[in-house]
A and B are shown apart, each in its own frame.
Chain A
Amino acid sequence: MSAGSLLEVNDLRVSFRVGGLSARLAGRATEIEAVSGVSFSLDRGSTFALVGESGSGKTTLARALNGLQPAVAGSIRFDGQELRGLSNAGMKPVRQRMPMMFQDPVGSLSPRLSVRSLLTEPFAIHGLSNRDLDTEVRRLLALVGLPRDFAERYPHQLSGGQARRVGVARAIALDPVLVIADEPTAGLDVSVQGEVLNLLNDLRDRMGLSMLIITHNLHVVRQIADRMAVMYLGRFVEQGETEAIFTKPRHPYTAALLSANPEPDPDKVHQRISLPADVPSLLARPKGCEFHTRCPQAQPRCSTEAPLPVVVGDSRLTCHFPLNT
């Protein structure tokens, strides 16, 4: 484990059981592997983005890191400690240093708790109630740019942006080392997204915070992440430095994703890489390279042989015929 590495994930696998006894007797698949062998490392003080569409497994991966979803194989090393297999009690001190923010800004706040209660809950959970909680609440609200009287408000009285900021305040309450943010800009208006991203960047600079951002919004990734990984059907197809990937995507899926963003310019002629129809079901994974059923440059080899990860420059990718090399 290298010096700057805060989080190291190796060949992580997470499966779900679907269908019961009857399915098993009928010979149908009863397990889906939402995360199939993911490996990456996150350095201290940096921001790593997990990009993927629905069904790619990115949310499951994030939950597995926090222990909300048990991983069936692989390893998760956080600051030198192995997390996989830890009990709830064992995870508790880890969760103090590695909090998580969820997608729905208002929905992730307990509806009957005031903002003050929401912000002091982390202290209560980790036995730190002897601190001056009033001061802490004031400090946290100030850090995220919310006025003091918001402490008495309830979640339904907050706008999306305000609720998101309360979520951020709650996440940084106990001076964490790594924050996992699941779709931090989801449900927010464009004019408010900037506020949240600026806030997260500020906190990273001020507190030396490391961040793992899960998102399907590529524009956000470019503005906030140093490194990124693109997920498809539970696997990383490409990972590396954000700028490098944006300027020279090497995996066809990455290229398609990047070209899929409608641009706010009506005159722009689109060289869009269209992907045929839908993502295959996890119950019926394609053979060979799993992307070959939708890949615009699939070759015969792609449907029979699964590509192994290769390192090209600073990126890692799994493709038999990478682009831009």
Chain B
Amino acid sequence: MTVLDVRNLSVDFQTEGGRLEALKQVSFTVPANRSVGVVGESGCGKSTLINAVLGLLADNGEITSGEIVFEGGKDLARLDADSMRALRGQRIATVFQDPMGALNPVLSVGRQMRDIQYRSGLSKRDKDARSVAMLRKVRIPDPESRLAQFPHEFSGGMKQRIAIAMALMMEPALLIADEPTTALDATLEVATIELLKDLQRDIGCSVLFISHHLGVIAELCDEMIVMYAGEVVESGTTREIFHDARHPYTQRLLACDPARLSHRVPRLPTIAGTLPDLRHRPPGCVFQPRCDRADTQCLTVPPRASLGGSHSARCWHAEVPLAEVTA
């Protein structure tokens, strides 16, 4: 069963400088019980994508085409505000980079966790029991005493874990995690990733994990998509992409990651050029101005070239293997 099926989603924003095409024909799926990673750098459209899924686009943004099919039924792109609100928090939960986005500083943690359960019809004591069980699941030591405490009494890593607990408490079908570990130190980051992996298996939900940190995606996700300038340039399983990326952008991105280097190099690889102005998209392939493989064919939009299995890349020249690029 597919939990989330995004088909040809396009989102535009109306700005002073003109119409900005933030997302263009984005398509991907999140199967049940799987983790899908969204990798991209600043300006790739990851935030716009999540906002579109959650129905939280700014006033000057609109979905110009495509569908966001949730649990094989409702199209979130066309859902009314009330129904959307009912889904958020219940069937679709989110965790953000800053846990304080989910935590109210003036209410105790116990009170907030109780509030989330308002639809459950349980007694206060039962709700607290569930909260304690959830806190224990996210490995907060001494959970009973924590219910009375306030967010500022917890460290950053703990706050993030509480935010995760709150998100997963109602056992949603889909958890959207937007850079949840970016602000955490390395040791906390890996602990949080391990936690998310365990929880996902335990609760049986799907995870849509957005990050620019390649290592985290590699560890946590089964499948992934790579976004650039509002388009999905490559998608497949994490194995397929990390071992055999075919889109020039993905290849260069992997080459740039210093984590890949096992020794000191005289010059670190970079990607020349800058992100295009999304108000004036380049003709044809969006990566063409920065690609060293570009030719005249690239001035027309490349199709989604299937590379075997679930692996596909939007490129006319997807034949060059990764090993040649990173050599």
Contacts and interface: CB of A to CB of B under 8 A. Distances in A.
Contact of A264 (B158, B185, B254): B254
A305 to B, nearest CB: 25
Interface stretch (B11-19, B168-176, B189-197, B311-319): B189-197
A194 B213 CA distance: 15
Contacts of A216: 185-186
B58 interface: no
A220 interface: yes
Interface magnitude class on chain B: 35 or more
A277 B256 CA distance: 32
B185 A195 contact: no
B42 A264 contact: no
B256 A222 contact: no
A262 interface: yes
Of B257, B258, B269, the most chain A CB neighbours within 10 A belong to B258
Contacts of B243: 267
A264 B187 contact: no
B106 interface: no
Interface in A159-173: 159-160
Contact of B190 (A220, A222, A223, A272): A272
A190 B257 contact: yes
B187 A193 contact: no
Interface in B228-257: 238-239, 242-243, 252-254, 256-257
Contact of B186 (A189, A195, A261, A267): A261
A268 B262 CA distance: 14
B18 to A, nearest CB: 17
B186 A257 contact: yes
A256 interface: yes
B135 to A, nearest CB: 13
B147 interface: no
B258 A193 contact: yes
Contact of A219 (B42, B139, B212, B258): B258
B268 A223 contact: yes
B216 interface: yes
Given A262-B215, A262-B216, A198 B268 contact: yes
Contact of B256 (A193, A201, A268, A279): A193
Interface residues of A, number: 40
A220 B216 CA distance: 17
A56 B268 CA distance: 28
B157 interface: yes
A193 B186 contact: no
A277 B258 CA distance: 27
Contacts of A267: 239, 243
A277 B214 CA distance: 24
Contact of A194 (B41, B239, B259, B270): B270
Contact of B242 (A195, A219, A243, A264): A264
25 contacts: A53-B188, A54-B156, A159-B42, A189-B212, A190-B253, A194-B258, A198-B270, A218-B186, A222-B264, A223-B265, A256-B187, A261-B190, A261-B259, A262-B193, A262-B216, A263-B215, A263-B218, A266-B218, A268-B218, A270-B219, A272-B190, A277-B139, A277-B141, A278-B155, A278-B158
Interface of A: 53-54, 159-160, 189-195, 197-198, 201, 216, 218-220, 222-223, 242-243, 256-257, 260-268, 270, 272, 274-275, 277-279
Interface of B: 41-42, 139, 141, 155-158, 185-191, 193-194, 212-219, 238-239, 242-243, 252-254, 256-261, 263-265, 267-271, 274
Given A159-B42, A197-B268, A261-B190, 15 more contacts: A189-B212, A194-B269, A198-B267, A216-B185, A222-B261, A223-B258, A242-B264, A260-B190, A261-B215, A261-B259, A263-B218, A265-B242, A268-B218, A272-B190, A274-B191
